[in-house]
Amino acid sequence: MDSFTLNKIAGAVLLVLVMTMGIGIVSDVIFHPSHPEQPGYIIEVAEASEGTDAADEPQVEPIASRLASASAADGEKVAKKCAACHSFDPSGADKVGPGLYDIVGRKPGGHAGFGYSSAMAAYGEANPEWTYENLDNFLAAPKKYMSGTSMGFAGLRKPDERANMIAYLRELSASPKPLPAQ
């Protein structure tokens, strides 16, 4: 390689460096960067009121009236959200969570062979069985209803989805429990 070729390579590298610096200087002149007086963003937090108004919370029909029009077939579709952690077959096989076959009327934390959280075990001591109303409240927001539960599911927010799910869970039994009176 002769010195002329080396000079061409060095000139090209220097040209690229000068152009890069020049483009940076020209873009600063064109776009005028502005810097805030205080770095970061102010996060506005709404203050919690002393008491909550009953009018602020949406009124949900009782589970008994929602179950009267609930669809177990639609509940089976909703149950697909739970299938990663729970089984629904009569074998009652455990996955990450306990098997849910014959859950309605069963003692909370009472599925043999499954290691429940201490919160679920304590809830099972205080409540002899899963009622329709308890299931509805638990499925709405498990961690809110039972503080300390190891169930990581956020919950089913829509009341109709919960009713369909409970109707499906009710049918997963050799002898389904009677529907509650309206």
Q: What is the pLDDT of residues 26-85, one digit of tens each?
A: 988 888 777 778 888 777 777 766 655 555 557 888 899 999 999 999 999 999 999 999
DSSP annotation of 55 reads T
Residue where the block lists tokens 């002769």 = 2
86, two tokens = 């729970």
Query: Domain segments of the chain: what residues?
Result: 63-171
Q: Quick one: average pLDDT of 161-182? A: 90
Q: What is the pLDDT of residues 80-138, one digit of tens each?
A: 999 999 999 998 889 999 999 999 999 999 888 889 999 999 999 999 999 999 999 99
Phi, psi of 9, rounded to the nearest 5 degrees: -65, -45
C-alpha to C-alpha distances, 64 to 42, 55, 84, 171, nearest whole angstrom: 46, 22, 28, 16
pTM for this entry: 0.67
Domain 63-171: CATH class, spelled out: mainly alpha
The tally of CA atoms less than 13 A away on the side-chain side of residue 75 is 22
Sign of CA dihedral 27, 31, 34, 40: negative
